[in-house]
Structure formats: C-alpha cells, structure tokens
Structure 1
Amino acid sequence: MQYVIVGIGGQGILFSTKVLGHIAMSRNEKVMGSEVHGMAQRGGSVISHFKVGDYQSPLVKTGEADILLAFDQNEAIRNLHFLREEGSLLVNIFDEKALENTHLNEYLKKRNIKVFKIKGYDILKEHMGGNFLFLNVLILGALCACDVSTVKIDQVRQAIQQLSPEKFADANLKVLNLGYDAIF
C-alpha cells in the first residue's frame, strides 16, 4: 500500500504518518517513508510519502499511490498526479466550488479515482470549538470509514492511545469517531 499524505504546515501530517507506521509495524509489516517539509513552519506544503510492504524506495512515484490523504483541498489538486488509476482521494473540503472544475472532474472520472470528502474545519468548529489541531486524527477516522486501506478504526484508536500526549488522548478519540462518521 502506497500513501501520499499532503497538507500545509501545522496540520499534523507527520503525526498521521507516525500513527500509520505504528499500526503497520505492530502487524510486523515493512514500513518506509519520506517527508518533504518545505516551508511548513509558515503554512507551506508538507508531503509525506509512506509505504507498507516490500518496497525498495521510500518515495512514491507519479501515478503509483493507492491513497492520497489531503488535509488541504488545494494540496490535493497539486498532488493528484501521485494517484494511480482507481486510486482513492480523501480530501478535507473548505470550499466545494474549488472541486467543481470540469477538467478536474473529467480527470478523476477518466482515471476512476474514488473521491471521499470531509468538511473537517466545519466539524472541528462545531464539535471542538474550532481547534484545528485535531484535523489529523479526524482524517484518520475518515480513512477508516472509506474502507480503502487495511487500517481499521480499532487499530487507529489503539495507536492514538499509545502515541498521543495524555492531555489530548480523550479529545483525539472523540475526533477519531467524528471523522469516521463524517464522510460524504
């Protein structure tokens, strides 16, 4: 399984990768990854390549990712080239009009890409008082609901309990469930 996880600095992309790696390693699977931080400290692009299985290189080649997890819709569009045909895109939507582009929809349809959307910021405003630090865990919950990877909600729950700072543990578990219920 090959993942590309994208977003902007501060959205928790690296923690999400750590959770996925923890799960794979607990199942005795081979794990490989690489991160490109860019201008992450200033809200710039962050890209994490993550592979589970018998691979030789940590980087995902263009057109070979099984899953693109996009914490930001603009980063999703910029990184669509990584997805293979019949791949899956899970994207945090904050402006649905951005994805109503005719050319974009033709590209997705032509390549049979499954698109799963989540309104992460709206959910976090409503249920977490606008604390967007939980976006990463929300996305992981949504990933489990999409049923496009081998990662299951109970495995993510257990990994979060082990990896999350104690003061965020209960909130992270709440958000994980919100993400699981939020796919549209």
Structure 2
Amino acid sequence: MQYVIVGIGGQGILFSSRVLGHIALSKGESVMGSEVHGMAQRGGSVISHFKIGKYSSPLVKAKEADVLLAFDQNEAIRNLHFLKPGGKAIINVHAPEALENPNLKRFLEERSIELYPIKGYEILKEHMNGKFLFLNVLILGAMCGAGIGNVTLEEVKRAIEELAPPKYVEANLKVVDLGYGAMAK
C-alpha cells in the first residue's frame, strides 16, 4: 500500500504518517516513508510519502500511489498525479466548486480516480470550536469511513490512544469518529 499525504505546515501530516506506521508495525508489516517539508514552518507545502509492504525506496512514483490523503484541496490538486489508475483521494475541501473544473474531471475520469471530499473546516468549526489542529485525525477517520487505506477505525483509535499526548486523546477520538461518520457509506 502506497500513500501520499499532503497539506500545508501545521496540519498534522507527520502525525498521520506516524499513526499509519504504528498500525502497520503492530501488524508486523514493513514500513518506509519520507517527508518533504519545504516551507512547512511558514505554512508551505508538506508531502509525506509512505509505504507499507516490501519496497526498496521510500518515495512514491507518479501514478503509483493507492491513496492520497489531502489536508488542503489545493495541495490535493497539485499532487493527484501520484495516484495510480483506480487510486482514491480523501480531500479536505473549502471550495468544492474547484473540483468541478472540466479539465480536472477529465483527468480523474481517464484514470478512474475516486475523490472523497470532506468539509473538514466546517466540521471542526461546528464540533470542535474551530480547533483545526484535529484535521489530521478527521482525515484518518474519513479514510476509514470511505473504506480505503486497509486500516480500520479501531486500529486508528488504538494508535491515537498510544501516540497522542494524553491531554488530547479524548478530543482526537471524538474527531476521528466525526471523520468516519462524515464519510461512512
């Protein structure tokens, strides 16, 4: 399984990679990853390449990712080329009309890429008083709710309980459920 996780600095991309890695290692699977921070400290792009299984390189090549987790819709659009034909993307959207672009729709159709948009900022404003630092676990919950990524909600919750600072565990668990509920079919 090959993941590309994208967003901007401060959105918790690296914690999401840690959660996925923790789950894979607990199952005895091999894990390999690489992060590109760029100008992350100034709100710039962050990309995490993450692989579970027998691979010889941590970087995901274009057209080979199974899953794209996008904490920012602009970063999602910039990184869709990583998805393989039939790949799937969970995208935090703030302007859904951007996904209606005819060229983008054609690109997705030609490659049979499925998008799973979630209005993460709206959900966090409504349920978490606008605490956007929980966006990362919202996206992980949405991934589980969509049934992609080969991890279960229970595995994500267990990893969060083990990895998150104790004072944030309860809130993280609430938000992962919100993401799951927003996407569950």
Q: Equivalent residue for 1:72?
A: 72
Letter of the 1:145 counterpart: G
Q: What are the superposed Cα offsets for residues 46-76 of structure 1, whole Å, 9 maximum, x if unpaired? A: 0000000000000000100000100000000
Q: Equivalent residue for 1:31?
A: 31
Q: Take 1:130 and 1:37, find their aligned partners in 2: how far apart are those partners?
A: 25
Q: Take 2:7 and 2:94, find their aligned partners in 1: how far apart are those partners?
A: 13
Q: Secondary structure at the match of 1:182?
A: helix
Q: Secondary structure at the match of 1:141?
A: helix
Q: CA deviation at 1:149?
A: 1.9
Q: CA deviation at 1:15?
A: 0.2
TM-score normalised by structure 2 residue count: 0.98
Q: Equivalent residue for 2:114?
A: 114
Q: How does 1:109-148 map to 2 (within 5 A)?
A: 109-148=109-148
Q: How does 1:16-27 map to 2 (within 5 A)?
A: 16-27=16-27
Q: Equivalent residue for 1:8?
A: 8
Q: Take 1:182 and 1:46, find their aligned partners in 2: how far apart are those partners?
A: 25
Q: Take 2:63 and 2:112, find their aligned partners in 1: how far apart are those partners?
A: 13
Q: Take 1:122 and 1:129, find their aligned partners in 2: how far apart are those partners?
A: 10
Q: Take 2:139 and 2:12, find their aligned partners in 1: how far apart are those partners?
A: 10
Q: Take 1:36 and 1:108, find their aligned partners in 2: how far apart are those partners?
A: 25
Letter of the 1:45 counterpart: S
Q: How does 1:38-77 map to 2 (within 5 A)?
A: 38-77=38-77
Q: CA deviation at 1:148?
A: 1.6
Q: Secondary structure at the match of 2:183?
A: coil
Q: Secondary structure at the match of 1:130?
A: coil
Q: Equivalent residue for 2:167?
A: 167
Q: Secondary structure at the match of 1:79?
A: helix
Unaligned residue ranges in structure 1 (runs of 5+): none
Q: Take 1:144 and 1:49, find their aligned partners in 2: how far apart are those partners?
A: 19
Q: Secondary structure at the match of 2:54?
A: coil
Q: Equivalent residue for 1:149?
A: 149
Q: CA deviation at 1:177?
A: 0.2
Q: Equivalent residue for 2:176?
A: 176
Unaligned residue ranges in structure 2 (runs of 5+): none
Q: Take 2:88 and 2:19, find their aligned partners in 1: how far apart are those partners?
A: 19
Q: CA deviation at 1:183?
A: 2.2
Task: Give the aligned length.
Answer: 184
Report the aligned-residue RMSD: 0.8
Q: Secondary structure at the match of 1:16?
A: helix
Q: Equivalent residue for 2:95?
A: 95
Q: Take 1:63 and 1:150, find their aligned partners in 2: how far apart are those partners?
A: 19
Letter of the 1:107 counterpart: F
Q: Equivalent residue for 1:85?
A: 85
Letter of the 1:32 counterpart: M
Q: Take 1:97 and 1:153, find their aligned partners in 2: how far apart are those partners?
A: 30
Q: Secondary structure at the match of 1:91?
A: strand
Q: Take 2:128 and 2:140, find their aligned partners in 1: how far apart are those partners?
A: 16
Please list every run of at least 4 consecutive aligned residues from structure 1 whose deviation after the TM superposition is greater than 4 angstroms: none
